[in-house]
Structure 1
Amino acid sequence: MTFPASIQAPRAVLFDLDGTLADTAPDLAAAVNWLRTERGMAPTPYSVLRPTASAGARGMIGAAFGLAPGDDGYEELRLQWFERYQSNMAVHSTLFDGIVTLLQGIEDAGMAWGVVTNKPARFTDPLIPQIGLAHAGCIVSGDTMPHAKPHPAPLLEGARRLDIAPGDCWYVGDDLRDIEAGRAAGMLTVACAWGYCGAIEPQDWGADVLCATPLDLLELLLNVTRAAESTYI
């Protein structure tokens, strides 16, 4: 775990969803491999699909079919993938090890927490309660605001819903655009190496903090909270 020598305790921690709080890649991958099977194609190896999971349909279809938005056939695949995934989004998806303990520790320390994801609300709204995150202080989906991450608008909306200044929030994510969005919103940024991370190594994202596990993040939060409390003694 790496972090600045001087770091302020937050009043709230905002999290990305896919690859940060929840391991949703198995169901995302299953949906796109269903599309391949329907077309008489062999499944794409999970090891190829998993690193692209944070990019949703764009990542899955790109890895499985080599198509990008604007390419012929992409939109048809995207719509079919949406339908298949929506019907099977919580079959194998679970919270990462340590997330329950992390969130409980945040609450016990008197901090708020919430979810800010690029996942559309049609998926976020039903998935959140099924995987045990219904007690989030706020949920901002990819289509809640006119712009999605890496634009800072969704993070600023999350802070507004919690009634906490953006500068008093940390943002935690497993993708470069999470760090870009958090930085643009004026939040301390945390790169979580336990997530999907994509093609660029998380240590190269320019995050303020790099954590290997959710429990590492909890340890840091508790340490900076104790340090802040000690200044008032």
Structure 2
Amino acid sequence: MRPAAIVFDLDGTLIDSAPDVRAALNRLLAEEGRPKLTLAAVQDMVGEGAGPLMERAWAATGAPADRGAVPALVERYLAHYRAHPADETVVFDGVRTLLPRLRQAGCRLGVCTNKPHAMTLVVLAALGLAEHFDAVLGGDFPRRKPDGEHVRETLRRMGADGLPALYVGDSRTDVLAARDAGMPVVCVDWGYARMPAAELGADRLLGHFDHLPALIEELLA
């Protein structure tokens, strides 16, 4: 496999973080006297950053959140999340063998996620994944996904100039960001998308990370 730049989404793509997101969110909801959310409900809410997550959680459990209150809610949620960043989070099968394999092939690797940047670094470190990536860019970036500039800036920070690039994600947001960045996109078929993976509009679907090197060769030939 020739060297390439591979940009990954995080939640729902590389890791199943929804259980820990749900636990932190439910602690916050309990403090506010609101009902707990199910895991399935939280999976449908993630993907566009912590602010939209708060808004969706509040809308699902009672009166909508006042927009002016959302930043403070985000900070309280993140405090709960930082205390338990990876108690129940699982790295998807194949990731731990794939990442060093790609690095050995000369690939540059990055994470482009709408998850808050500092929280992303905490989670990657807790899971022992941080060392594999040349750059990580979270959702604090002012032009976040689905804006392709989020992906392009990740590539710049990866030092990926001149390398063919591929995006790997799990949602329509990821597909739109990759298209806007002018690069092919692969979607996993196990993520948090709110529609069937086949309807996301990706160039290829991925059923296991063992198959990603072959797709890289095919799409970046």
The two structures have a TM-score, normalised by structure 2, of 0.84
Does the C-alpha gap of structure 1 residues 195 and 166 become closer, same or farther in structure 2, counting only changes over 3 Å?
A: farther
Q: Summarize deviations over 1:136-172 as a string: whole Å, max 9, x none.
A: 11112222x4311111112112222233247711011
Alpha carbons of 1:111 and 1:97: their partners in 2 closer, same or farther (altered >3 Å)?
Answer: same
Structure 2: which amino acid aligns with 1:138? Answer: A
Moved more, 57-66 or 32-41: 57-66
TM superposition shift of 1:179:
0.9
- Are 1:217 and 2:212 an aligned pair? yes
Q: Equivalent residue for 1:88?
A: 84
**Moved runs in structure 1, 4+ residues, more than 4 A?**
67-76
Cα distance change, pair 202–166 in 1 and its aligned pair in 2 (3 A) = farther
1:191 maps to 2:184: no
User: For 1:49-82, what per-residue CA distance to the aligned partner results, in whole angstroms no more than 9, with x for missing partners?
Assistant: 1232323434543453316675575454333212
Match of 1:64 in 2: 57
Answer yes or no: is 1:24 the counterpart of 2:17. yes
| In 2, Cα distance between equivalents of 1:125 and 1:49 | 21
- Structure 1 vs Structure 2 CA RMSD: 2.7
C-alpha distance in 1 between matches for 2:172 and 2:25: 23
The 5 Å alignment of 1:1-233 reads 11-58=4-51, 60-66=53-59, 70-71=66-67, 74-135=70-131, 136-143=133-140, 145-165=141-161, 168-197=164-193, 199-221=194-216, 224=218
Q: Secondary structure at the match of 1:206?
A: coil
Q: Closer, same or farther in 2 for the Cα pair 1:51/1:164, shift >3 Å? A: same
Distance of aligned partners of 1:216 and 1:58 in 2 relative to their CA distance in 1, 3 Å threshold: farther
| Residues 112, 154 of structure 2: 8 Å contact kept | yes
Amino acid at match of 1:115: V
**Number of residue equivalences:** 217
Q: Highest Rg: 1 or 2?
A: 1
Deviations 1:88-130 (A, max 9, x none): 2222223111111221221233222111111222212222221
Over 3 Å counting, the alpha-carbon distance change for 1:63 and 1:162 in structure 2 is closer
Instruction: Indicate if the aligned counterparts of 2:4 and 2:163 stay in contact, CA closer than 8 A.
Output: no
- Secondary structure of 2:186's match? strand
Classify 1:159/1:11 alpha carbon distance in 2 versus 1 (closer, same or farther; 3 Å): same
Corresponding residue number in structure 2 for 1:4: none
> Partner of 2:118: helix, strand, or coil?
helix
Structure 1: state its 5+ residue gaps: 1-7, 229-233
